[in-house]
């Protein structure tokens, strides 16, 4: 079956760095997406990885290892507005997105 | 309109009633999707449409139907609502059925009593 695993909840301190991990087992792989979702709102796109390595975009970076079925989202210089859920999704061989349950990130001052 | 709109924003519905959730996009995206999001389960695909005139079943299609008469609109119908269909429903779209980013509407919060 297809499976995406990520931690349910994480807590970090304002100004610090946090890494949110995602492991996956899917039928085929056409890329991995990270989305941010604030409470009561729609998911918004953060990053896309299809090749191994690190993609950096401002304070956010995303890493992919296809051989290990593993990705992480790295958030630097955490701000209170980064408190949200972070969703990992893999595009399978049918180009459909398979979603993880999301990681709720709590930022403390 | 800019992006994807959904209506209604929220709805309380009696079990057994018929309900249509509306979704409209103005980005001329070919592919559209309906998801439900439940606590602890993540987003689950209900139905999708790769292009106007075609539809397909996702992971959890039972109890739901869709139509895609044109590019812009993708309504989701619950023929006879049941309490287990209480959820937040998101419509999404992307330009093509490839690795393009999916964009989401604001969601509809549905409660079936």
d(CA B21, CA B36): 12
Distances (CA, A) of A88 to A44, A47, B54, B55, B87: 12, 10, 28, 25, 20
CB contact under 8 A, A30 and B107: no
Q: Is A33 on the interface with B (CB under 8 A)?
A: yes
Task: Using CB atoms within 10 Å of the CB of residue B105, give its burial: 0 to 12 exposed, 13 to 18 middle, 19+ buried.
Answer: buried
User: Which region, left, alpha or beta, applies to residue B18 given φ > 0 means left and ψ of -120 to 50 means alpha?
Assistant: beta
Which residues of A are less than 8 Å from B41 in CB distance? 101
Peptide bond into A5 cis (omega under 30): no
Task: Using CB atoms within 10 Å of the CB of residue B1, give its burial: 0 to 12 exposed, 13 to 18 middle, 19+ buried.
Answer: exposed
d(CA A47, CA A62): 7
Distance, in angstroms, between B40 CA and closest chain A CA? 6
pLDDT tens-digit profile of B46-105?
999 999 999 999 999 999 999 999 999 999 999 999 999 999 999 999 998 676 899 999
Q: Which among B41, B101, B107 has CB closest to A45?
A: B101
Distance, in angstroms, between B42 CA and closest chain A CA? 4
Instruction: Please list the residues that pair with A75 across neighbouring strands.
Output: A18, A60
Which residues of B are less than 8 Å from A96 in CB distance? 45, 48, 58
Which residues of A are less than 8 Å from B98 in CB distance? 30, 95
Query: What is the full per-residue pLDDT of chain A (109 aa) written as tens digits?
Result: 789 999 999 999 999 999 999 999 998 999 999 999 999 999 999 999 999 999 999 999 999 999 999 999 999 999 999 999 999 999 988 888 999 999 999 999 9
**H or E element that contains B43:** strand B42-49
d(CA A89, CA A15): 27
pLDDT for position A83: 97
């Amino acid at each position: 079956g297809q499976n995406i695993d990520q931690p349910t909840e994480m807590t970090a301190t304002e100004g610090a760095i946090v890494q949110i991990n995602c492991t996956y087992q899917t039928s085929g792989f056409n890329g991995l997406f990270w989305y941010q979702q604030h409470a009561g709102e729609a998911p918004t796109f953060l990053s896309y990885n299809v090749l191994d390595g690190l993609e950096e975009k401002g304070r956010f970076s995303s890493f992919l290892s296809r051989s290990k079925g593993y990705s992480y989202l790295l958030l630097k210089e955490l701000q209170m507005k980064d408190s949200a859920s972070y969703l990992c999704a893999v595009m399978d061989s049918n180009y459909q997105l398979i979603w993880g349950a999301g990681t709720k990130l709590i930022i403390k001052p | 309109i800019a992006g994807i709109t959904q209506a209604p924003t929220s709805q309380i519905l009696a079990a057994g009633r018929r309900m249509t959730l509306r979704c409209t996009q103005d980005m001329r995206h070919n592919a559209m999707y309906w998801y439900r999001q439940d606590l602890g389960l993540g987003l689950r695909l209900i139905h999708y449409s790769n292009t106007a005139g075609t539809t397909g079943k996702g992971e959890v299609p039972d109890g739901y139907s869709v139509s895609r008469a044109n590019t812009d609109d993708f309504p989701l119908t619950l023929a006879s609502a049941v309490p287990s269909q209480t959820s937040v429903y998101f419509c999404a779209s992307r330009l093509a059925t490839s690795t393009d980013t999916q964009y989401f509407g604001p969601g509809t919060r549905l409660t079936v009593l």
